[in-house]
Amino acid sequence: MGNGTKSLVKQARELAARYRIDDGRKFQLESIDPDDTGPFSDDDKSKAQDALAAGVDVLSELQDKLYAQDQWSVLLIFQAMDAAGKDGAIKHVMSGVNPQGCQVFSFKAPSAEELDHDFLWRCQRNLPERGRIGIFNRSYYEETLVVRVHDELLHRQNLPETLVTKDIFTQRFADIRNFESYLARNGVLVRKFFLHVSKKEQKKRFLERLEDPEKHWKFSAQDVKERGHWNAYMDAYQDVVRQTSAPHAPWFVVPADNKWFTRTVVAAAVIDALDALDLSYPKIGASQRADLDRARETLMRE
Is residue 279 within 8 A of residue 65, CB to CB? The reply is yes
Start-to-end Cα distance in the chain: 36
Residue 2: C-alpha distances to residues 5, 7, 8, 140, 153 (Å):
5, 9, 10, 39, 52
pLDDT by residue for the chain (302 residues), tens only, comes to: 566 688 889 999 999 999 999 999 999 999 999 999 999 987 778 888 888 888 889 999 999 999 999 999 999 999 999 999 999 999 999 988 888 899 999 999 999 999 999 999 999 999 999 999 999 999 999 999 999 999 899 988 989 999 999 999 999 999 999 999 999 999 999 999 999 999 999 999 999 999 988 888 877 888 889 999 999 999 999 999 999 999 999 999 999 999 999 999 999 999 999 999 999 998 888 888 888 888 888 889 88
Return d(Cα 174, Cα 184) in angstroms, integer: 15
CATH level 3 topology of 3-301: Rossmann fold (3.40.50)
Rounded to the nearest 10 degrees, what angle do helices 3-17 and 45-69 cross at? 110
Return d(Cα 277, Cα 2) in angstroms, integer: 18
The domain spans of the chain are 3-301
Is residue 18 within 8 A of residue 281, CB to CB? The reply is no
Among residues 101, 93, 181, 98, which one has the least CA distance to residue 137? 93
For residue 185, the one-letter residue type is R
Q: What is the pLDDT of residue 222?
A: 84
Return d(Cα 90, Cα 106) in angstroms, integer: 11
